[in-house]
């Protein structure tokens, strides 16, 4: 039986494993596309029979990007969650749905054991993983009944809340605009790049501030940040740039210096990035912070010093956002690289 084309007003998004792990293929009777078949021949028909419009986690044969999945988890009227094989991504997505206190229906197949206690306490439906043709009609009917009963019992909220005594739900992210969309796309590109070329993101590829790779393997990321800030401080000292005591309040920058050309204050922010990290702060937020710092100290310019392992995409975005506001972007990992660029600014 294949899914029908009938549309329903109440939408039900499906959370489930997308691929079948190699270790499970034999258990699923040698079916390498087992969960695709579960989706097509059991879940979608049952959801439609229950009176809902199914929203598949797969579209046109490809996985949806993570952002679209999260959007569906947040906006769907109901979520059907298949916990079979105890997939970590499924539990992550279930956690998001639960944090929003929105209704969910939980199911699993007959081969999945040791279900975590946290979700085992609520009613979950078990279906036969064999998907025998002569059993499908009965399975679809039973699952459809479970979906309708679960939706009715939820009454618009998440059943787990009743058991844990929760009272404050998470709020969906509301930020809009071009900057937020660009930052999101940059992060997605980096994730894809890391998946396609994992060797480029190994710890041996990470360099900074003249520290040997062996040392970095033993040191935390926070230590590397401090080391890079120390390197910047050394550059300022050698250039005989006067550093003032920090007086900024809400938008504290790393350094406040005096421009030898005109005697004015210049706030400096230092950012250390690994190659596989797009940004600790969104570029647009960092530029906004620098504008606030400039206003507080009465300066018409500022400096952002970024380690050279910031991604090219993020660096271009920094420069594009900073261009109109005389926010100088300095990049480099060595003292020579940083001093050369700072000299051009201060002379």
Report pLDDT digits (tens) over 309-339: 666 666 677 777 776 678 888 888 888 989 9
Residue 13 has what pLDDT?
Answer: 95
Question: Which of 255, 311, 321, 315 is closest to 285 using CA atoms?
Answer: 321
Residue 202 has what pLDDT?
Answer: 40
pLDDT, tens only, 270-313: 887 654 444 444 567 777 888 888 888 888 888 888 886 666 66
Coil, strand or helix at 124: strand
Residue 253 has what pLDDT?
Answer: 80
Residue 187 has what pLDDT?
Answer: 54
Question: Which of 62, 60, 58, 28 is closest to 43 using CA atoms?
Answer: 58
pLDDT > 70? residue 243? yes
pLDDT > 50? residue 258? yes
Residue 120 has what pLDDT?
Answer: 60
HSE of 8, CA atoms in CB hemisphere, 13 A: 20
Residue 313 has what pLDDT?
Answer: 67
Percent of the chain, pLDDT > 90?
A: 28
Give the residue-averaged pLDDT of 210-235. Answer: 65
Residues whose CB is less than 8 angstroms from the CB of residue 178 and which lie 6 or more positions away in sequence, other chains included: none
Residue 26 has what pLDDT?
Answer: 92
Average pLDDT score, the chain? 76
Residue 146 has what pLDDT?
Answer: 94
Which CATH number, 3.40.1350.10, 3.90.1150.10, 3.30.930.10, 1.10.10.10, labels domain 178-346? 3.40.1350.10
pLDDT > 50? residue 65? yes
d(Cα 115, Cα 108) in Å, to the nearest integer?
9
Residue 1 has what pLDDT?
Answer: 42
Q: Are 299 and 266 in contact (CB under 8 A)?
A: yes
Comparison of pLDDT for 17 and 225, the residue scoring more: 17
Long-range contacts of residues 118-127, Cβ cutoff 8 Å, at least 24 apart: 118/160, 119/83, 119/94, 119/160, 121/163, 122/159, 122/160, 122/163, 123/150, 123/159, 124/83, 127/42
d(Cα 252, Cα 151) in Å, to the nearest integer?
49
d(Cα 74, Cα 65) in Å, to the nearest integer?
15
Give the residue-averaged pLDDT of 208-223. Answer: 47
214: confidence class by pLDDT, cuts 50, 70, 90: very low
Q: Are 346 and 236 in contact (CB under 8 A)?
A: no
225: confidence class by pLDDT, cuts 50, 70, 90: confident
- Domain residue spans in the chain? 11-164, 178-346
pLDDT, tens only, 165-212: 555 555 555 555 555 555 555 555 555 555 455 444 443 333 333 434
Residue 185 has what pLDDT?
Answer: 52
- pTM greater than the 0.85 cutoff: no
Record: fold of 11-164: Rossmann fold (3.40.50)
d(Cα 102, Cα 136) in Å, to the nearest integer?
29
Q: Are 47 and 56 in contact (CB under 8 A)?
A: no
Sheet hosting strand 104-109, strand order edge to edge = 53-55, 11-15, 78-82, 104-109, 124-127
pLDDT, tens only, 81-109: 999 999 988 988 888 888 888 889 999 99
pLDDT > 90? residue 148? yes
Residue 274 has what pLDDT?
Answer: 58
Give the residue-averaged pLDDT of 254-273. Answer: 86
pLDDT > 60? residue 20? yes
Asked, colleague to colleague, whether 11-164 and 178-346 share their fold, the answer is no
Residue 235 has what pLDDT?
Answer: 92
Query: b/e map of 174-188 (b: 16 or more CB within 10 Å)?
Result: eeeeebeebbeebbe
């Amino acid at each position: 039986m294949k899914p029908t084309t009938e549309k329903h007003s109440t939408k039900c998004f499906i959370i489930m494993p997308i691929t079948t792990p190699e270790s499970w293929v034999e258990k699923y009777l040698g079916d390498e596309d087992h969960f695709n078949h579960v989706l097509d021949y059991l879940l979608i028909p049952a959801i439609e029979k229950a009176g809902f419009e199914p929203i598949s986690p797969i579209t046109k044969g490809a996985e949806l990007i993570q952002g679209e999945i999260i959007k569906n988890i947040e906006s769907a009227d109901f979520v059907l969650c298949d916990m079979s094989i105890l997939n970590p991504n499924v539990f992550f997505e279930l956690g998001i749905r639960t944090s929003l206190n929105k209704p969910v229906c939980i199911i699993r197949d007959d081969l999945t054991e040791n279900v975590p206690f946290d979700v085992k306490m609520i009613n979950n439906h078990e279906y036969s993983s064999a998907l025998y043709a002569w059993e499908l009609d009965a399975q679809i009917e039973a699952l459809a009944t479970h979906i309708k009963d679960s939706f009715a019992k939820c009454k618009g909220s998440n059943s787990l809340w009743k058991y844990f005594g929760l009272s404050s739900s998470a709020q969906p992210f509301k930020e809009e605009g071009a900057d937020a969309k660009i930052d999101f796309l940059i992060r997605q590109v980096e994730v894809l790049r890391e998946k396609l070329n994992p060797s480029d993101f190994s710890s041996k590829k990470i360099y900074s501030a003249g520290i040997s790779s062996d040392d970095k393997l033993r040191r935390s990321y926070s230590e590397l940040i401090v080391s890079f800030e120390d390197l910047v401080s050394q550059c300022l000292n050698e250039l005989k740039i006067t550093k003032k005591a920090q007086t900024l309040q809400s938008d504290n920058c790393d350094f406040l210096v005096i421009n030898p050309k005109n005697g004015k204050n210049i706030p400096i922010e230092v950012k250390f990035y690994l190659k596989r990290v797009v940004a600790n702060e969104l570029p647009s937020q960092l530029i906004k912070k620098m504008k606030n710092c400039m206003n507080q100290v009465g300066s018409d310019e500022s400096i952002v010093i970024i380690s050279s392992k910031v991604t090219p995409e993020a660096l271009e975005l920094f420069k594009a956002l900073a261009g109109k506001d005389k926010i100088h972007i300095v990049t480099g990992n060595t003292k020579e690289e940083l001093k050369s660029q700072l000299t051009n600014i201060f002379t």
